[in-house]
Structure 1
Amino acid sequence: MGSDETGYIPKSLDAPERFLWWDMDQAVLALTLIAMGVIAGSLIGGLALGTLTAWQYGRFKAGKHPKFAIHALYWWLPGGLFVKPSATPPSDKRYFIG
């Protein structure tokens, strides 16, 4: 067998994209906080805050829907801020008729 046959095999075909050992949403959160720490002149503080926040976020979203963050942002932020759904009502319209 050639060496090109060895490598990472995902557990399922729907395995989420990963950056190092984090899911992409955790990695974006960590890298944003690390970059803010570097800009503020505190590399160690940014590393600590970014790593701790990404770790806690990973624990918080464990066992939830893969798009949990998008769902939470839809309900917590104004409806047209980043998602413009055509089939769903704005998130602030919570009165049901019927």
Structure 2
Amino acid sequence: MRTDTYIPRRLDDNWKLGFWDIDVAAPVLLAFFIGYLAGTKTAFAACLAAGIAVSRWISRLKADKHPAFAIHWLWWHLPATPLTALRATPPSHIRRMVG
């Protein structure tokens, strides 16, 4: 009863789109979509060039960092939901009672 069992070596790899990580390919895809919606060739070329530039900047930024650097950065710098990002409410680490 001998069977060949495949044991995966990489369970926690980042999502990929072809050869590129999803966080590097997303700006190009978003710029491609916005340029397509613009309807002119010059706007399409400008949006695509901007998307490639942002993508290269992100890839250089995360070059010597953890593979999930972009996800960690988004987690710490963006609010959980737009509805909970109120400037009038204090941060959750302030525990002082008023009244």
Alignment TM-score, normalising by the size of structure 2: 0.59
Q: Which one has more relative contact order, counting CA pairs under 8 Å at least 6 apart?
A: 2
CA–CA distance in structure 1, aligned partners of residues 65 and 93 of structure 2: 23
Larger Rg: 2
Aligned to 2:20: 22
Q: Quick check: 1:69 aligned with 2:67? A: no
Structure 1 residues 66 and 93: CA distance shift in structure 2, 3 A: farther
CA–CA distance in structure 2, aligned partners of residues 94 and 71 of structure 1: 20
Q: CA RMSD in A?
A: 2.5
Task: For structure 2, list consecutive stretches of 5 or more residues without a partner in the other structure.
Answer: 1-8, 83-90, 95-99
Task: Give CA deviations for 1:40-96 in whole Å, capped at 9, x if unaligned.
Answer: 232111221111110111001111111111211121111x229xxxxxxxxx5456x
Matched residue count: 75
Runs of 4+ that moved beyond 4 A: 14-17
Aligned to 1:89: none
What is the identity percentage for the equivalent residue pairs of Structure 1 and Structure 2? 34
Aligned to 2:45: 44
Task: For structure 1, list consecutive stretches of 5 or more residues without a partner in the other structure.
Answer: 1-11, 83-91
